Amino acid sequence: MLWLIGNSGMLGSAVEKILLNEKLQYWATGREADITDYRQIERFSKNKEIAWVINCSGYTQVDKAEAEPERAFQTNRNGVHNIAQFCLKKKCKLIHISTDYVFNGKKKLYEPYSEVDEPDPINIYGKSKLAGEGEIKKLLNDYFIIRTSWLYGSNYSNFVTTMLKLFKEKDTVQVVNDQWGSPTYTVDLARVIIKIVKDNVRQYGVYHFANEGAIAWYGFAQEIYEQAKRLGLIENKKEVKIVPVKTEEYKIAVAKRPKNSILSKEKIKQTFNLGIRPWNEALGDYLNEFPFREKN
């Protein structure tokens, strides 16, 4: 059996949807099992045979983490330690989701980060996620740490939903043009997670996954706008000017962001014989299935 932790989040809900569609047996928890309290983990798992744990939970509020580092580390380090401790005791295999923000982003543009590159996070969120990775590595051998980037998907606020909202409300939208990465559709990552479980993969370790291609946030916003227009998600008569700005000019963000968040997917593609589709194609699927779309 499988235990999905964090099923109410953006990625966790995508994983659970596939589990349901494929009629796989599993247990799922959200806030009812607090991972920062080991007793709650043990209480929930009592008398359950668990072979796999998928951890999609985490503290993900990048800017807020700068003001409350204790909360970020409590979940992303201490909570992950508890999950790893549980997997060690029960001899479970663990799939844990981490982030591109474990890197400092100082690599040359278009030069992706591979799994052998040395992490060097520049914000509290990245540091807390890296600390969680460290707890897993200290305790377990049978684990998969999957670092991903720029996630968007259903049932959660994300960059795509934010842009669509701004496009409807404003005539001019400023978007950062000097931070590069690869947008990732939760459905595509969820499929990889389930593939690892179904295939009972044993090539443990750290992997990177994102949709193919790289873009700046500004270019991502432009593509969202163009596709949304074609699909009628934005009124055809409404024209929005998308203005590129430098990170230094964008005063809203509190936490530092890496300028280069591009992840190399070569290891995961070769190891699992994966084909990964381009980010703009995945975006098209998301917008077509947009759960609260309002055609004008």
Catalytic residues: 125
- Indicate the helix (H) or strand (E) that contains 242: strand 241-245
What stretch of H or E contains 197?
Answer: helix 186-198
Exposed / middle / buried, residue 248 (Cβ in 10 Å: 0-12, 13-18, 19+): exposed
Tell me how far apart the alpha carbons of residues 174 and 53 are, in angstroms, rounded to a whole number. Answer: 40
Structural tokens at position 219:
């270019």
Token pair of 23, please?
């009629």
Is there a contact between 98 and 137 (Cβ–Cβ < 8 Å)?
no
Helix 80-90 × helix 124-139 angle, to 10°: 20
Q: What's the one-letter identity of residue 18? A: I
